[in-house]
Amino acid sequence: MTNCRALHVAVGVVRDDDGRILLTQRAKHVHQGGLWEFPGGKLDPGESVFQALQRELQEEVGIDVLDAQPLIKINHQYPDLAVLLDVWQVKRFSGLASALEGQAMQWVTPQQLSEFDFPAANLPIITASRLPDRYAILEGHTTQQVLGHLDKIIRNQVSLLQLRIKSLPHAEIETVYRAVWAKCRQHSIRLLINSDLPLSHATADGIHLSSRALLARQTRPKAHEWVAASCHNLPELKHAENIGVDFVVLAPILPTSTHPDAMSLGWKNMTALIEQVNLPVFALGGLNMQDVNQILHAGGQGIAGISAFLS
């Protein structure tokens, strides 16, 4: 829940043309001093987050933010201070970044982020900055249909994929997995395997827990680089956050053609739920690419979908 007395801070994830991210080091004597951070600072009275972001990045690193979109909101209670970190992804900027306040500054790859010491609130920001705004879910009734869907997903430049294939005949699952994994490696797509599939020893980039599998666990599954989970309500979201899941899919947001009568959350409940966890949340159900902007402004990481990427 948003804490009204929390210090509202605009934070920028700035990337250069090679995809490296800008980090600065906080001065020794300030709150969270000596730790590395994404540049940014407190909102002035009456300022929007975007205006504060523009001002702070001009003051701290001398760049002009031309375009930015929300990435994630973090509510964090430090022993001495509550903060609301409103983290935006800078899409376009002008000027050459330089450390205008005498602070150390570095451009680092998303992989290198884990080598730096950040304030405790920053872990989900780092995760969010390593994730795209689209998460495709691969389904299909036949091997041919699944592989056809995968080709369309690749053409739509999706870089994060869940192998779900629950509608596929059992005997075909292993063969389809092999073909999908080979294509994912070829196209640099991160692949997560749904925990309900009989593929527990298969190699992939991670595991996607069904909500049932999520609730059955008290700890994060080991030996997976990425752990995601399906959630439908606050207890599931909180459980995912508590056991250290990296990101979640929240569903269903809108009614779908396959489940027209199922209860859906709607935009308002979705926004309220996302606000209560510090996790990257993909929205799923009845959504299409035109909805991405609304999802981002509601605090979500982006859109997940089975059919959204098949056009």
Ligand X SMILES: Nc1nc2c([nH]c(=O)n2[C@H]2C[C@H](O)[C@@H](COP(=O)(O)OP(=O)(O)OP(=O)(O)O)O2)c(=O)[nH]1
Binding residues for Mg(2+): 40, 60
Decide if residue 49 touches ligand X (CB under 6 A): no
List 231's β-bridge partners, or say none. 250
Segment contacting ligand X by CB under 6 A, of 77-85, 175-183, 194-202, 252-260? 77-85
Restricted to residues 114-133, the positions that interact with ligand X (CB under 6 A) are 119, 121-122
How crowded is the C-beta side of 286, counted as CA atoms within 13 Å? 17
Residues engaged in binding Mg ion (CB under 5 A): 41
Decide if residue 285 touches ligand X (CB under 6 A): no
Separation between Cα atoms, residue 92 and residue 53, nearest integer Å: 13
Separation between Cα atoms, residue 261 and residue 305, nearest integer Å: 18
* Edge-to-edge strand list for the sheet holding 7-14: 40-42, 7-14, 81-94, 64-78
Restricted to residues 90-119, the positions that interact with ligand X (CB under 6 A) are 119
* From the list ligand X, Mg ion, none, partner contacted by residue 61 (C-beta under 5 to 8 A by kind): none
Least Å distance between CB 250 and ligand X? 25
User: Is 55 or 187 the residue whose CB approaches ligand X more closely?
Assistant: 55
CB 240 within 8 A of CB 231: yes
User: DSSP letter string over 35-93?
Assistant: -EE-SEEEPPTT--HHHHHHHHHHHHH--EEEEEEEEEEEEEEETTEEEEEEEEEEEEE
Segment contacting ligand X by CB under 6 A, of 24-32, 141-149, 161-169, 205-213? 24-32
Helix, strand and coil content of the chain, in percent to the nearest 5, comes to: 30, 30, 40
User: Is 41 or 300 the residue whose CB approaches Mg ion more closely?
Assistant: 41
> Residue ranges for the binding site for 8-oxo-dGTP?
26, 31, 37-40, 122
* From the list ligand X, Mg ion, none, partner contacted by residue 119 (C-beta under 5 to 8 A by kind): ligand X
Which residue is at the shortest CB distance from ligand X? 41
Q: Are strands 7-14 and 40-42 parallel, antiparallel or unpaired?
A: antiparallel
* From the list ligand X, Mg ion, none, partner contacted by residue 11 (C-beta under 5 to 8 A by kind): ligand X
User: Is 4 or 30 the residue whose CB approaches ligand X more closely?
Assistant: 30
Decide if residue 11 touches ligand X (CB under 6 A): yes
Non-local (6+) Cβ contacts of 300 within 8 A are: 250, 270, 274, 281, 282, 283
Decide if residue 42 touches ligand X (CB under 6 A): yes
Count of positions (residues) in the chain: 311
- Cα 309 to chain centroid, rounded: 18
Decide if residue 80 touches ligand X (CB under 6 A): no
Residues lying near ligand X in the complex (CB under 6 A): 9, 11, 30-32, 37-42, 56, 81, 83, 85, 119, 121-122
